Chains A and B, each alone.
Chain A
């Protein structure tokens, strides 16, 4: 596609439910990042993929968070047993090879009631 897309754009869920967030990268972009941004804050790194492998998962806040990427393309971020503190905007960004510019999707705004 022309840009990075994310779905859903908004998600409201009840505490304790599982949610799945999706990122569709720009075609051919091998590197993919997930970030979390709480209201009025900067970006918090969650995980980085190079192809289908995740050499750095250090930013995942707890074992309730997991992510996968298939076919070097689509990635899903799963949050199990959501908590209110998980409420944030989740941003996906991709990068082409060694070129340093990241291209961001519009984000998914997650609200946990």
Chain B
């Protein structure tokens, strides 16, 4: 079964608003990554946060990681219609060494113009 669970499953907001997605996982991890998927095709890597980091920024993206709660959040600020996509978190459990990625079920974001 998937280790990561995203919340909410679907999110609809107006352009210009902020979008927050959450990810929970079950085991200790090396790092956590967020990916974006358009139209059910290939995923694009957005940002990686390591287990010893608490917050990371990239452009309009802000990711936080709370290892004590085994959770992460992705914040997209000033959303645009082009941000409409599905967003997945992926974890690399420590027990897997460095190779196995466990993807969550995804959050479907819709940004209305």
Closest to A33 in B: B101
**Total number of A residues with any Cβ neighbor in B under 8 Å:** 28
**Total number of B residues with any Cβ neighbor in A under 8 Å:** 25
Main secondary structure on A side of the interface with B: strand
* A56 cross-chain contacts in B, Cβ below 8 A: 99-100
Closest to A103 in B: B45
* A55 cross-chain contacts in B, Cβ below 8 A: 99
* A93 cross-chain contacts in B, Cβ below 8 A: 43
Q: Do the beta carbons of A91 and B100 come within 8 Å of each other?
A: no
Does any Cβ of A come within 8 Å of B25's Cβ?
no
Give the distance in Å from the alpha carbon of A77 to the alpha carbon of B103 in the complex: 20
Give the distance in Å from the alpha carbon of A55 to the alpha carbon of B100 in the complex: 11
Closest to B31 in A: A100
Residues in chain A within 8 A of chain B (CB atoms):
4, 31, 33, 35, 37, 39, 41-45, 48, 50, 55-56, 89, 91, 93, 98, 100-107, 109
